[in-house]
Structure 1
Amino acid sequence: MESYLIPAEAVTFNEEIKKSRFITYLAPVKGADKAKLFIQQIRDEHPDARHHCWAFVAGAPNDSQQLGFSDDGEPSGTAGKPMLAQLMGSGVGEVVAVVVRYYGGILLGTGGLVKAYGNGVQQALKILPTQLRIPQSEFLLVCDYPQLTMVEMLVQQSGGEIVHADYGADIRLILSLPTLHIDQIAGKLRDVSRGSLLLSPVT
């Protein structure tokens, strides 16, 4: 798995087209369930709006299992699909888009709707602050007390973190480490401990 961009925070973009008001929300989400919770939250905030169209890429940008979209009553293919196309084209992952429409009484036609919903997401993406998500995997590491400081230093240098520590006769650590660099990190741990520090994948 490669690293990819994710939203650093939520943003909103407002636009009025032929008396209809379009409010585009983009927010960071991890997983389809979280995306659906956010969509429901926006519905609750705008109960009087005519449509709450949405799309999400709730995992890595190339994870087709974590995609979803809905036209929410707009003509088929005029809202959710163009919104999803913008998200997928941006290369940003773990993101949900909801466009709330307050109908202004003038029909936009299918072409106008596609443009309105797609453009709303496109404009929101332009103002969206992003950060890099580096895929991590969890490993178990058992170490002695004198080795702990050295382990902590190596984990920190590698961009990982200690998720859980269990202090008994020895120390059992659950580490979250960058997936791309596991072999390198495992090699360093072996070298500094003369082969006693070994990573075991957490399944």
Structure 2
Amino acid sequence: MPYTIAETVTYEEEIKKSRFQAIAAVVDSEQAIKDFLLQYKDITTTHQCWAWKLGNQVRFNDDGEPSGTAGRPILATIEGNELTNVIVLVNRWYGGIKLGTGGLVRAYGGTAGQCLLLAEKIELIEKKEVQFSCQFNEWPIFQYELSQQQIEYTEEYTANGVDVVARLQVNQIESLKIKIQDVTRGRQVLNIIEEATDD
């Protein structure tokens, strides 16, 4: 079961006079990753190393540190925590003492790991966007059903009735399909608009 984190968290520590600061955040698209990196760009740092995981995609950046000593250990902590849709940025302000490759791996991986320990892990639930139509007199039944299951939806009134777009957890789709068939006596069906996305 994949998890993500509930909200942005930060953690800071000093290692042999260098200051390390980790920021972990939830991201749901490559655009969100770009926005995050832009938002946290800090020219006072010596290095800004990061890693992210989005579904099956992963990327990492050593930002001038020796290859494999920063981005990859950060990514390893994300994967070790079974997280996805997460970016972790570790800033370093160099304090004058070289840490060596082993020291860097421990510093970047450790700071990222401590930061993720502070984050609340939440289950990532797959959702799909669906669409269906109903008559005006049927809409209160569906409205009640959607509200009961805390499903987000938008409705649009047309000349013929109500067009509804909703975001459902994958495990809610089957019961709503049956409900639509029952209430509309087979007149309407549930249409899945897009492929599954992680929310």
Normalising by structure 1, what TM-score? 0.88
Partner SS for 2:179? helix
Residue from 29, 32, 40 that aligns with 1:31:
29
Unaligned runs of 5+ in 1: none
Q: Which residue of 1 aligns with 2:171?
A: 180
Q: Give the drift of 1:123.
A: 0.5
Q: Which residue of 1 aligns with 2:56?
A: 64
Q: Normalized per residue, which structure has more helix?
A: 1
Q: Which amino acid aligns with 1:98?
A: L
Partner SS for 2:87? strand
Residue from 50, 55, 66 that aligns with 2:51:
55
Q: 1:1-203 to 2 correspondence within 5 Å?
A: 4-43=2-41, 46-57=42-53, 59=54, 63-65=55-57, 67-162=58-153, 164-169=154-159, 170-203=161-194
Instruction: Give me the whole-angstrom Cα distance separating, in 1, the residues matched to 2:142 and 2:181.
Output: 11
User: 1:89-118, CA deviations, whole angstroms, 9 ceiling, x for partnerless residues?
Assistant: 111221110000000010000000000000
Percent of residue pairs identical = 37
Instruction: Give me the whole-angstrom Cα distance separating, in 1, the residues matched to 2:158 and 2:176.
Output: 24
Q: Is the 8 A contact 1:140 1:200 kept in 2?
A: yes
The number of equivalent residue pairs is 193
Instruction: Give me the whole-angstrom Cα distance separating, in 2, the residues matched to 1:79 and 1:27.
Output: 18
Partner SS for 2:45? coil
Q: CA RMSD in A?
A: 1.6
User: 1:41-72, CA deviations, whole angstroms, 9 ceiling, x for partnerless residues?
Assistant: 212xx211100000011x3xxx223x111000
Instruction: Give me the whole-angstrom Cα distance separating, in 1, the residues matched to 2:150 and 2:127.
Output: 10
Q: Is the 8 A contact 1:83 1:117 kept in 2?
A: yes
Instruction: Give me the whole-angstrom Cα distance separating, in 2, the residues matched to 1:119 and 1:159.
Output: 39
Partner SS for 1:16? strand
Normalising by structure 2, what TM-score? 0.90
Unaligned runs of 5+ in 2: 195-199
Q: Which amino acid aligns with 1:88?
A: E
Instruction: Give me the whole-angstrom Cα distance separating, in 1, the residues matched to 2:134 and 2:151.
Output: 17
Partner SS for 1:146? coil
Instruction: Give me the whole-angstrom Cα distance separating, in 2, the residues matched to 1:165 and 1:141.
Output: 10
Q: Give the drift of 1:180.
A: 2.9
